[in-house]
């Protein structure tokens, strides 16, 4: 029978404890990040799936406005800031870089507060302020 070194046991316990100290998942912030990724990737199906029914047509209009430009996300990070009834408010840091004819336009994501609702057990983007 092979003996396990006490140092190996201590390292295993330390790794287990440290990995459990991670930040709790923020599903409202995650859905906004996924929404913005779908927007930049011009994925209409994903955008629709991540939007509430009342916002879906607006999200597709937003997508249409980006069709003629190359887009990429820079330094995306979203965080829930609180709730108002059934709506969770999410702010994001980062930018969408929209390029047309070699000219970049940076769209600052921090100027919007996204509204997220939980419908059918899923968090969905339902607008912004």
Domain parsing of the chain, residue ranges: 26-128
Name the pLDDT band for 25 (thresholds 50, 70, 90): confident
Name the pLDDT band for 17 (thresholds 50, 70, 90): very low
Name the pLDDT band for 2 (thresholds 50, 70, 90): low
Digit-coded pLDDT (tens) for 108-122: 999 999 999 999 899
Higher-confidence residue of 20 and 93: namely 93
The label of the residue with tokens 């996204």 reads 114
* Residue 52 near residue 126 (C-beta atoms within 8 A): yes
pLDDT at position 35 = 97
Cα–Cα distances in angstroms (integers) from residue 106 to residues 25, 31, 78, 109, in the given order = 28, 22, 17, 9
CATH 3.40.50.620 at 26-128, yes or no: no
Query: For residues 1 and 55, what is the distance between their CA atoms, to the nearest angstrom?
Result: 63
Strand residues in 40-121 grouped as ranges (E): 70-84, 87-100, 103-108, 113-119
Query: For residues 126 and 91, what is the distance between their CA atoms, to the nearest angstrom?
Result: 14
Q: What is the mean pLDDT of residues 95-100?
A: 95
The DSSP secondary-structure symbol of 38 reads: H
């Amino acid at each position: 029978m092979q003996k396990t070194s006490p140092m190996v046991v201590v390292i295993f316990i330390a790794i287990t404890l440290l990995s459990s100290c991670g930040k709790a998942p923020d599903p409202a912030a995650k859905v906004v990040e996924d929404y913005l990724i779908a927007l930049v990737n011009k994925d209409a199906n994903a955008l629709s799936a991540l939007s509430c029914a009342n916002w879906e047509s607006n999200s597709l209009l937003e997508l249409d406005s980006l069709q003629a430009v190359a887009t990429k996300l820079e330094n995306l990070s979203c965080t829930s800031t609180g709730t108002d009834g059934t709506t969770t408010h999410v702010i994001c840091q980062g930018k969408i870089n929209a390029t047309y004819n070699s000219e970049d336009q940076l769209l600052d994501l921090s100027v919007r507060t996204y509204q997220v609702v939980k419908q059918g057990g899923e968090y969905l983007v339902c607008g912004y302020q």
